[in-house]
Amino acid sequence: MAVPATLWRPGMRITDARLNAKDYQAGQVVVSFTNLASYTQNIVFPEPFPVAPIMNCEIAAGAGTTGRFEARPINVTATGWTLFILLTDASEGPDTWAGVPVHWTAWMPTT
């Protein structure tokens, strides 16, 4: 399991795990589908988080009909999440995507 990044405090020991710890992860998913108004894809984090992180995702293209869609993370857990893409104007009808990148970022909340 990944060790979360920690704010340094007096007396803490320096370990490899603490030095290499990250409290965020980011990636890209390439999406293709045919004649759909909504689409989901399960994604596993490269390293599990200790708890479900805060997330966002964005469609990284504006060409063609991608501007009529939005992307959001749903069902976020410590080990992964589901990408949910939906058509924002149902009167437009379903569409087809081929190799559209969606970027995502996940990070640990600060308390």
6, pLDDT greater than 60: no
CB atoms inside a 10 Å sphere around CB 44: 10
75, pLDDT greater than 70: yes
Tokens encoding 39 = 């689409």
What is the arithmetic mean of pLDDT over 12-32?
Answer: 81
pTM over 0.85: no
| Collapsed DSSP state (helix, strand, coil) of residue 64 | helix
Q: Which residues, including other chains, have CB under 8 Å from residue 38's CB and lie 6 or more apart?
A: 84, 85, 86, 87
Report whether 36 contacts 105 (CB < 8 A). Answer: no
Most confident range, picked from 15-24, 45-54, 79-88, 101-110: 79-88
> Beta partners for 36?
95
pLDDT of residue 77: 97
Report whether 1 contacts 46 (CB < 8 A). Answer: no
